[in-house]
Amino acid sequence: MTRIVADISVSLDGYVTGPDPGPDNGLGTGGEPLHHWAFSDDPDDRRLLQSSTTRSGAVVMGRRLFDLVDGPNGWNDDVGYGAEEVGRPAFVVVTGSPPTTMRLTGLDWTFVTTMTEAVGVARQRAQDASTEQGTDLDVVVMGGGATIRSAFDDDLVDVLSLHLAPVVLGGGTPLFTGPRSARTLIQRDVVVTSTATHLTYDVHP
């Protein structure tokens, strides 16, 4: 079964970037520790990253994140989806203005205008990939924060996977804001490593 998995790193005070994120400062000021786990040598971190990447049949992201990964300091031959884990699922970008040019032309990009459409397209791509590979693959909503929050608030998420980094950022991009995000979740898994606490929840409307 194809699940919609929202997967993101977050600080102890609930931010997915530090203050002042931008094209040349994607994680914001002081935000680098959020992703230390993805580049860690801890075997549990590596296992979790590999498992997530392997199960990814399609990936949804917002336009700001696309601009970062497609930018000159973005993904390359050594660092791409899943950090050092090489993955090439279909990528679906939510944007009102598709780019006219792309650097990463070797990846499978689709541009749509709404979150509902993005999840629908990604689900179909993941199901097609599942049939081809003979195994269940998921849709991963990887961010940024506003993209995951939109999918969560629109009841499009089945699983919430948080990588809780041991850092307090004091500001930046919050993961959840406002009453629409209020929800009771079902905790399914907790893995504590040297760099993060990895939390998995089932989400129900």
**DSSP track, 185-201:** -EEEEEEE-SS-EEEEE
Q: pTM higher than 0.75, yes or no?
A: yes
Phi, psi of 146 (to 5 degrees): -65, -35
pLDDT tens for residues 112-169? 999 999 999 999 999 999 999 999 999 999 988 999 999 999 999 999 999 999 999 9
| Domain assignments of the chain as residue spans, ordered by start | 4-15+27-98+105-202
Top-tier CATH class for 4-15+27-98+105-202:
alpha beta
User: How many Å apart are CA 158 and CA 5, to the nearest integer?
Assistant: 6
| Residue 190 C-alpha from the chain's centroid | 18
User: How many Å apart are CA 161 and CA 52, to the nearest integer?
Assistant: 10
Dmax over Cα atoms in the chain, in whole Å?
45
pLDDT tens for residues 40-67? 999 999 999 998 888 999 999 999 999 9
- Choose among 181, 108, 185, 106: nearest CA to 151: 181
